[in-house]
Amino acid sequence: MTVPVQPGERPGGPERLSPLIAALDTPDLDEARRLAGAVSGQVDIVKVGLELFSSAGPESLRALRQDGFEVFLDLKMNDIPNTVVSACIALCALEPLMLTVHTMGGQEMMRAAAAAVRDHCWAVALPKPLLVGVTVLTSLDLLALKKIGVKGSVEEQVMRLAVLASESGMDGVVSSPLETLAVRRKVGDEMRLITPGVRLKGASADDQKRIATPGDAVRAGADFVVAGRQLSGAADPASVAKEILEDIRGRSPEE
């Protein structure tokens, strides 16, 4: 895939980066940096989510970028268009590689955010983050969706939101590995697909409901897979990261 490079954007695009994103799901910035450092040989992108950003704030991105990582800033913004636009513009100054909004915020919100980020980054010569729309959380299953009033299957809801994101100018979407193939067929090759909920065979599912192996996710069309607790909870995170990458490449770690 080739992403057009605009003034101020990172030359080469994300396709040059490792497909494994390490989720730094801790409120402790020092611990996050230690985990990132442990997998630095296998990982180029780290995910900063609500837990770390709520604790360490913008300093978390500055520190991790100083350590040599690109940052996937996963805040899943969902608010009125004006509020999300203002937040996105402020976050662009931190130069994340990717930035998430929640597709349930609707088309007006996503379109406004996409236009604002593009225009702002162009005007001030900042690298433009990829705006990524989160569809249905991997912790939700059919019963959970029914309880909040969503009709139809999980896949149908993911498809609706993925198409809406594509039509709204998003650069990518987040969905579980069980929907990746269908999403890829629906939105085409230009959208970046980020897939959490991947687990090596035999690993604990934790609170994830819709999971698959990293290799299955990438073969279905994912550009990036996100791993968190299976790295942070490992005695040797680097070995687990290597095993995930070998699974993506279709080889056993011994080969």
Residues assigned a catalytic role? 76
Strand residue runs (E) in the chain: 20-23, 45-49, 70-77, 98-102, 130-134, 172-174, 192-195, 224-227
Q: For the stretch 16-26, what's the b/e string if a residue is b when 16 or more beta carbons lie within 10 angstroms of its beta carbon?
A: ebbbbbbbbbb
What is the maximal distance between C-alpha atoms in the chain? 52
Q: Which residues pair with 75 in a beta bridge?
A: none
End-to-end CA distance of the chain: 28
* Cα 21 from Cα 4, distance rounded (Å): 22
Q: Of the candidates 136, 195, 134, 137, which has an alpha carbon nearest to the alpha carbon of residue 168?
A: 134
Structure tokens at 109: 């919100």
Amino acid at 215: G
Residue with tokens 């402020």: 90
